Structure 1
């Protein structure tokens, strides 16, 4: 446990201690030994920002509520945005020093394959066939050409392919790859595998326990993404009171401010404009609530510097 960990107040303390109901001391061995390159242990992300108008709403609300934002992510996909819309988003994020992360290409859950609509879920959101893979690559190259530096992937083969392209120079060397919560790993071995395949951050499912995060950190230092509040289709979990412990165990970690009890908006279009803008603003407000809670418990420090985005050195498979 670091000196800053020892200053963190758990919810309800010290009054519960006075009643003989104090929580057991945190085990120093559970604290993550990793951090972002600048020494910070956590960053913030606003997900489901589906276009320039939603981005504008997020930027305005984050300034009003003083919510620092390290990353903006989108879920509908690069193919659902025009070049002009992508350029607007790139420029808007660059002005505020925010990383923009856009989702790559076709995915099985929207494809013609019927298996994704069965109880088994089939192959889920992964890219189906050569054409699915090719669409993701096309999306990645197009977005990178327009200045997007972070790409969201939901397929292991797509990740490995894009990492090879990055290594060969077909994608800029400072491009980062974020693994989607739709295929997030649930054990240490699979998490470490994504790191080796080229992931620069990995969105784990939001139902993992603090102990699971510690297990992952024993084998990998790749940045972790975790919904503090998850959308309903990812469980709808609200874990605000665990934020400090999730940082302690999972650092370096992106705290994602999602929103439960909200309509789905993927794939986004103008027919969903009002709900997209309302939910974008509310995600920022949820972020403010989490930051206030961390501050009250003495855990609001050690945030990675605004404008930082790179993950630091990570372990990769050799490329032939």
Structure 2
């Protein structure tokens, strides 16, 4: 039986009184899976760029009583000093929050011209051996500084880091999050990323709830989904669908992005005010999300603070090297 509770539909019972009731939930649509702690959803605050932004998010989450499970960064590990990474790790550890940093470089910031074409070329993937090597260097460095969650935007990088995790070149408790920049859009693709080593997969935010049901039937991996999406990923605001997203897609990380906000990658002192104000507002969006779910009777199922592992997942054999 699913661990996802039945939620009240928005506008009910008033619409029912007018003969305009929504369609009934079908038992077969509900996800049968949960996180290993029994929770069905967690909260992630993305685009938290640097130690000052981390401190801002943590302080705001306490002020607004928003339980944050994961803080993620988008500019990249190579855009942070060792001291900055250590400060971010220490701050998150003090609040029992997972810190996820982006590996790089990625082709959208490289010299390859294909990413500047209308077709987008290779997208954000790692370009050539140098790109792959840079991502590996980032991963090793971050883990040595205490980071235990890495954000990845390339299939080859994911598979390489997973094999490194299997042979103890990276800590066994390191988790890999697949970026929204290459998010898969069908059940077979999500299942492949799970088997390549992903511990959570950021699917695009324009997938329907039926798509989430289809994905969940094919894959065990936790799904990440923006309930409010940055403009460069579509600008969608789907808070009213959050209860159904949880019901269909659990276990899931709900990401509080921010539409109509300036781009901040790669961040730095020149964007300090924007980085901090948008970080604060993302936490406020988390409060709005929690309030909405509570009103609809769907607030239960939140993982306890400090929960970070994905549970049992299926993998390709990682001990075979190419000839």
Fold shared by both chains (TM-score > 0.5): yes
| Cα distance change on mapping 1:161 and 1:4 into 2, 3 Å | closer
Distance 1:30 1:4, change over 3 A: closer
Pair 315,2 (structure 1): closer, same or farther in 2 beyond 3 Å = closer
Render the CA deviation track for 1:73-119: whole Å, top value 9, x for unaligned: 00000000000000000000000100000000100000001110100
In the other structure, the counterpart of 1:191 is 190
In structure 2, the partner of 1:16 is: 15
Distance 2:275 2:133 in 1: 29
**Distance verdict in 2 for CA 1:215–1:3, change over 3 Å:** closer
Distance 2:230 2:180 in 1: 11
Q: Secondary structure at the match of 2:224?
A: strand
Indicate how the Cα distance of structure 1 residues 4 and 172 shifts in structure 2: closer, same or farther if over 3 A, else same: closer
Residue 258 of structure 2 is matched in structure 1 by 259
Alignment of 1:116-127 (within 5 A): 116-127=115-126
Normalising by the residue count of structure 2, what TM-score does the alignment of the two structures yield? Answer: 0.98
| Match in the other structure for 2:128 | 129
Q: Which residue of 1 aligns with 2:40?
A: 41
Cα displacement (A) at 1:2: 5.1
| Residue 316 of structure 2 is aligned to residue 317 of structure 1 | yes
Q: Which runs of 5+ in 1 are unaligned?
A: none
Unaligned runs of 5+ in 2: none
User: Which whole-Å deviations, capped at 9, do the CAs of 1:48-77 have from their partners, x for residues lacking one?
Assistant: 001000011101110000000000000000
Shift of 1:305: 1.1
Distance in 2, Cα, partners of 1:200 & 1:161 = 14
> Is the partner of 2:49 in helix, strand or coil?
coil
Distance 1:130 1:216, change over 3 A: same
Is the 2:3–2:34 Cα contact (8 Å) retained in structure 1? Answer: no
Q: Alpha-carbon deviation of 1:3?
A: 8.4
Report how far residue 5 of structure 1 moved.
2.7
Cα separation, partners in 2 of 1:127 and 1:4, compared to 1, 3 Å: closer
- Name the residue aligned to 1:171: 170
Per-residue deviation at 1:24? 1.3
- 3-state DSSP class of the match of 1:218? helix
User: 1:26: which partner in 2?
Assistant: 25
Matched ranges for 1:80-229 at <5 A: 80-229=79-228
CA distance in 1, matches of 2:4, 2:14: 21
Contact 2:4 2:31 in 1 (8 A): no
Tell me how large the CA RMSD over aligned residues is. Answer: 0.9
Shift of 1:221: 1.1
Q: Tell me the equivalent position of 2:67.
A: 68
Structure 1 moving runs of 4+ over 2 Å: 1-6
1:5 aligns with 5
